[in-house]
Structure 1
């Protein structure tokens, strides 16, 4: 299928051929008929992509600070590599989509194949959208009209925040697409509407709709509002403009009545003068996109609706309200359409953004060659080879860590898969994969693929590992192997039943770091017990991010602290026997990313893992201390090893190296040469069990035997 993307590195707006998405649980698959180009938002993204590095940095000062902090903790070259990899990520454009449902995911009840729907899907021939971001279109609303649903909801949410009553005066600053729709909805609500914009075309269009509209640069906006309100001032001001100037917020305050409301929908400078707001006791609020539910993963991705008795207007119910307004003709958008362009001619829109257009509609072909949408790539001539890989998952770990580490490993790239298709296609182009796909079963069914690498969200790991092993493939899975005991036991049974020649590797890369290998060498073959302290300055992640969800990410102990359990297993040469864990806070069973884990090993060694999320980002992220026989070894952030009490060795330095490159090099060699597993399965099993035992210990408040 075809999709419009923005290349952030080169600045090009492209119509890319990418694999079509497959329908997911809780979502619907939509074949697009029309989509609306948001000339404000998309122009900003396109111009950002076209800017040079200095321009990009100026537009995102918060990101610059993050880069500087990363340089301090991880070094210049790893940081620059991460930045350039991020710029390589294609940005899908568009969020106003209309089409026909062609597939319905598990758990979806309100939609059926053939339904006409509006959604926040991208400019793509096929989109897969969660059910709470999709709304059915009334029969008397055309596809073109319905394409205004999402952008109309943005304006509607701004109106809901000011909560206007009949007869009140509301000012709309910025009469672009969102501003014009906002003004018309306010008129339908019985309000007197005053509008301002620099563009005479937009001003005249607003006037035709019944708005008291004026050119901002040809009038004193504050005095105009005062005159029209008999010196009282506006009851509310909605700002839909886009400007870096602070003048807009100051004018909004000056034109407001006492205790008036100001809502920001657009993007402006926000150097607010206290005196402007203090004297009138003004309230100011920023509107969040389409309404309640936006950016809430439970609502958007899991389909958990808010009870209507408590949250009357969610983003989906806002979609439906806009569609009702279109059906009853209280909102009329036909006069906003400036142009209609076939998808193939998309550059007619993107090459002249800001040239006077208000609303541009993209028209999609009626037919799609579905045989070409699941797998996208060049024809492949079968030949005997080894080390042929297929990757399932094209997210940040694959892009930022795994692909750079696989360079020069000897792997032959054949497949890369992602749920949406775009990220897989981008990485396929960059690294020379034969095929990109949205159906990972294509990889499992190809007899030539020797090794499957799995880097999806954690809850999918176990099932994909089992399927890959059963398909006769060597398997690498980024940690964790599983997120609960049931999944782990299923994998153990499958692994024990397959051919002995197949290997299963989990991405416990720290043991392959040259710093850790040197520690192991310095410790020698001593059978004495060790004391090990590993401290992880993990950084804060909000509770609503998927990695914190025990059902999806497994939590940060299972999902990340497992690295250090495996590292201790490697250094001690012994399995974990018992575990206990405590956590910060009064109700620690619900907060596991500020925890202290204590481990006892079968050979008498002890380990302490300090996994903290409340430290400074300026401090190093990881530190490992090993104590044995009057000697001490300290690995500082995998950039330096210091040794105390060792004759002839005191330190070792270098660039940040957590072992990814050596891990993947060893993995490919193992597969190609039949060397066997990189990590014994019983150690992988023990480490995973120990991470589960840590959580159980927290719940039960006692030591847990592994």
Structure 2
């Protein structure tokens, strides 16, 4: 079998062929599916191995002390031979993985061959194809939890033990210093515990990632914004706990901890940073300094780890194994989301190159996984697949009855936020043949404001009453992303025509639920707010481009920009990723221009999955590349598009100007115009379909295909391979 090893003397990294470990009693033999690189602990070890002997000695004074003691006891020659022999040997790397049980040793009855388990330990959960793992260092993976997510079990346990040492309580405010892998997990665990979190890290991308995971505010350690956020959240008292998840030799973390802690606050050291405590600062506040020892009670105890002697739960509630199982449970229930932390997935055969890229800084990452092809079933010739759900309309009564000529179409709005009030309602208020019947919001005042401003006949917080009102023809769902699928499903079952803002769904299960409502009710009267295909400028450009006889290539640059602090788009755990929320616009536009639905998706991303490159392949060989970036110049146009094929080029510049170059050249008016992204035309088409009973503006099959492709982007980022859209038209 293959295993990643390092020679600490020379610094050499290698992928060696080594014997398969035996399956001893009280443990299991596990074939790896994914193993996680700890970009903190492991890279520190890799970097130390590349130092000179003097550098190694300076970095490990504890080992130097042991050497000096050996010299005093055994003499210089014997000590030299012993030290050089130990240095000039291969040592393993890795301590967190997920795999499949291949063989069960005597005394094991909680798992069987074929079961999926998460494993821990720097001697047992190594970057290797097979590992023997004692029973207190593995835990079964809950149903539904992806193997790549379960591979985070060990580092999740480290973060969890650190949080337990801080003893947080509901309503506390905590400071997390260092937003690497452990720090990000600490933020999520604290947030899930009802604690408000302020994060500190010099890397803006990591700060933004932590805010998307629920942190109230994040910033550079030298930034006044961090101190201001702490003052605001604690009314000037200081944080209840500080979690030190930083590394390095700077003493800044412990000084900052003292400065921002409240009187008698707790400081928990999880990482490995300098701890030259400023005596006066810690004494005056009587700060409680605590250490968190790795995964939890049992760590470094041979009787627990190797002999399998558990600690009674009445005396030790949270052991290593119980922490591991608890973290897996939280991940399986969606209370912790590790997917945004995955920066890169590398084939295990590329392990040496991956470590070198991390060491050299070419690969910037929060978390990197090794994928073991044999267990994941992912090969170059057999791509992973995501099913595009089939649309079944059932045999029920379809709500498509034409309205009387003089009878207005009565609309209800669920939600009256910024997009509804700025981009939709202005086009509907006062429109002939439209009556704004009822606006539904969760707060009475926002409903009253919408009623006053746009002329709704009624305002309420009672959604059930609106869905039960037979006089209402159509319902607009313009709420936060997490509620779209459920509200759409309920409105369809109530027999209403539905206009839902993108996205239609945040998961495959939500999409399936919407289609189940279509099948149950026979009501397929659904439109998703993919408005760009309705833009008059883009419609004219497509007409001028004309028909195609061969495949085309489309490039779509989306200069999305940074989100403002506090934006609910940052609540990725609850509201989905930013691309899931917005990416459907661009996939729908590409598919409309190319005249088909995509058959595969390939996605790559920068660290933190902020900037994406999404490549879509279409049945006729056409391709579309969507570059979704957040770090561009604010003054550059948000959306630029080029379609190239059959000797022609269509160019769109941010819905202000367009041109077609080919046998005949066409350029839109150069007079400045407001950007028309198609909302008005889309709403007109929807209202017309509701009034006449005619087809919806976009076929439901196309809406489903676009949604499935958008969701497949996340699957593509996770597996690092093209994702086939099975069942695509």
What TM-score comes out, normalization by structure 2 length?
Answer: 0.49
1:77-103 CA-partner distances (Å, limit 9, x unpaired):
211111100102222111111101111
| Alignment correspondent of 1:50 | 50
Corresponding position of 2:241: 236
Where in structure 2 are the equivalents of 1:580-599 lying within 5 Å? none
- Cα distance in 2 for partners of 1:69, 1:4 equals 32
What residue is the counterpart of 1:252 in the other structure? 257
Alpha-carbon displacement from aligned partner over 1:303-352 (angstroms, at most 9, x marks no partner): 11111111111110101111111111010111111111110111342112
CA apart distance, 1:226: 2.9
Q: Does 1:137 align with 2:141?
A: yes
Q: Is the Cα–Cα contact under 8 Å of residues 175 and 242 in structure 2 kept in the other structure?
A: yes
Q: How do residues 190-339 of structure 1 correspond to structure 2 at under 5 angstroms? A: 190-211=194-215, 212-219=217-224, 221-222=226-227, 224-339=229-344
Q: CA deviation at 1:220?
A: 6.5
Match of 2:371 among 360, 363, 370: 363
Pair 1:99–1:243, CA change in 2 (3 A):
same
Distance in 2 (alpha carbons) for counterparts of 1:275 and 1:70 = 38
> Are 1:89 and 2:89 an aligned pair?
yes
Q: How does 1:129-528 map to 2 (within 5 A)?
A: 129-211=133-215, 212-219=217-224, 221-222=226-227, 224-353=229-358, 354=361, 355-366=363-374
Q: Deviations over 1:585-644 (max 9, x none)?
A: xxxxxxxxxxxxxxxxxxxxxxxxxxxxxxxxxxxxxxxxxxxxxxxxxxxxxxxxxxxx
Helix, strand or coil for the counterpart of 1:114? coil
Which residue of the partner structure matches residue 63 of structure 1?
63
| Distance in 1 between residues matched to 2:148 and 2:63, nearest whole Å | 38
**How far is 1:221 from its partner?**
4.5
* Match status 1:103 vs 2:103: yes
What SS does structure 2 have at the residue aligned with 1:279?
helix
CA contact (8 A) 1:221 1:251 kept: no
For 1:167, what is the secondary structure of its paired residue?
coil
Which consecutive unaligned segments of at least 5 residues does structure 2 have? 377-729
Query: Residues 222 and 251 of structure 1 are in contact (CA less than 8 Å); yes or no, is this contact kept in structure 2?
Result: no
SS in 2 for 1:366: helix
C-alpha displacement of 1:241: 0.5
Answer whether contact 2:244 2:269 (CA < 8 A) is retained. Answer: yes
1:224 Cα deviation from its structure 2 partner: 4.5
What's the RMSD between the two structures over aligned residues? 1.5
SS at match of 2:297: coil
Q: 1:197 to 1:352 in 2, by over 3 A?
A: same
SS in 2 for 1:352: helix
8 Å contact kept, 1:32–1:127: yes
State the 1:223 CA deviation: 5.2
* Aligned equivalents of 1:2, 1:195: Cα separation in 2: 39
Moved more, 354-363 or 66-75: 66-75
Q: State the 4+ residue runs in structure 1 displaced beyond 4 angstroms.
A: 220-224
* Partner SS state of residue 346, structure 1: helix
Q: Distance in 2 between matches of 1:44 and 1:187?
A: 28
Shift of 1:279: 1.3
Q: Distance in 1 between matches of 2:113 and 2:310?
A: 22
In the TM superposition, what is the alpha-carbon distance from 1:159 to its structure 2 partner?
0.5
For 1:118-137, list aligned pairs within 5 A. Answer: 118-120=118-120, 121-137=125-141
Deviation at 1:5, TM superposition (A): 1.0
SS at match of 1:308: coil
CA deviations over 1:117-170 (Å, ceiling 9, x no partner): 000101000000110000000120001110111101100000101111111001
Secondary structure in 2 aligned to 1:4? strand
Q: 2:298 and 2:66 mapped to 1: Cα distance?
A: 28
The alpha-carbon distance between structure 1 residues 99 and 78, as it changes in their structure 2 partners (threshold 3 A), is same
Whole-angstrom distance in 2 between the partners of 1:72 and 1:329 = 56
Cα shift readout 1:256-312 (whole Å, capped 9, x = no counterpart): 111111100001111112211211111011100000111111111111111111111
Write the deviation string for residues 207-257 of structure 1: whole angstroms up to 9, x where unpaired. Answer: 112211112244464454234322110000011000211221121012111
Question: Equivalent residue of 2:285, what SS?
Answer: coil
CA distance in 1: counterparts of 2:323 and 2:69, whole angstroms:
40
Q: Matches of 1:320 and 1:367 in 2, distance apart? A: 22
Cα separation, 1, equivalents of 2:148 and 2:66 = 42
- Provide the C-alpha distance between the structure 1 equivalents of 2:166 and 2:25, rounded to a whole number of angstroms: 36
Q: Counterparts of 1:8 and 1:331 in 2: how far apart (Å)?
A: 36
Q: What is the rounded CA distance, in whole Å, between the counterparts of 1:307 and 1:296 in structure 2?
A: 15
The corresponding residue for 1:494 is none
